[in-house]
């Protein structure tokens, strides 16, 4: 379990009752991809999103909040998992970097 998440496991539910979305700096997996300047594609974003969700669920015992948000590209909106930046930013960054490293290793298998 990541260090930042250790304290969250105990009191996440109580704290969420007291904080609105506007009072908390929330991030999505896509936000972290952009911060890291990593190009996205559906396969990478779904894999990273699933890993972040699984980690969050393991730590808190709950699924992440999924408010209706504007789509990244194009009109419309959809539900997107959000996480507290202070708690999950480093973990999501780690997940994305590991996916990038794994993709590079796979690419090397097919280089001639």
Among 95, 99, 84, 109, smallest CA distance to 5 is for: 84
Averaged pLDDT, 8-21: 55
Q: Report yes or no on 112 lying in a domain.
A: no
Selected residue with higher pLDDT from 64 and 108:
64
Residue 28 within any structural domain of the chain: yes
| Surface-to-core class of residue 87, CB atoms within 10 Å of its CB (0-12 exposed, 13-18 middle, 19+ buried) | buried
Residue 39 lies in a domain: yes
Q: Each residue of 19-34: pLDDT tens digit?
A: 554 457 899 999 999 9
Q: Residue 70: inside a domain, yes or no?
A: yes
Q: Is 31 a domain residue? A: yes
- Compare 101 and 99 and report the one with higher pLDDT: 99
Structure tokens at 44: 């990478």
Residue 83 has pLDDT above 60, yes or no: yes
User: Tokens 């594609």 identify what position?
Assistant: 41
pLDDT of residue 68: 82
Q: Average pLDDT over the chain, rounded to whole?
A: 80
Whether the pLDDT of residue 55 is over 60: the answer is yes
Q: What global pTM score does this model have?
A: 0.72
CA–CA separation, 9 vs 26, rounded Å?
Answer: 17
Domain extent at residue 80: 3-107
Query: Count of domains in the chain?
Result: 1
């Amino acid at each position: 379990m990541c260090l930042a998440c250790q304290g969250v496991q105990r009191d996440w539910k109580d704290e969420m009752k007291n904080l609105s979305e506007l009072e908390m700096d929330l991030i999505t997996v896509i936000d972290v991809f952009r911060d890291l300047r990593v190009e996205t594609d559906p396969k990478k974003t779904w894999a990273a999103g699933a890993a972040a969700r699984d980690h969050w669920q393991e730590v808190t015992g709950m699924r992440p909040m999924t408010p209706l948000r504007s789509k990244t590209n194009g009109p419309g909106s959809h539900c997107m998992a959000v996480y507290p930046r202070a708690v999950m930013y480093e973990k999501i960054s780690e997940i994305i970097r590991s996916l990038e490293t794994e993709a590079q290793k796979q690419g090397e298998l097919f280089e001639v």
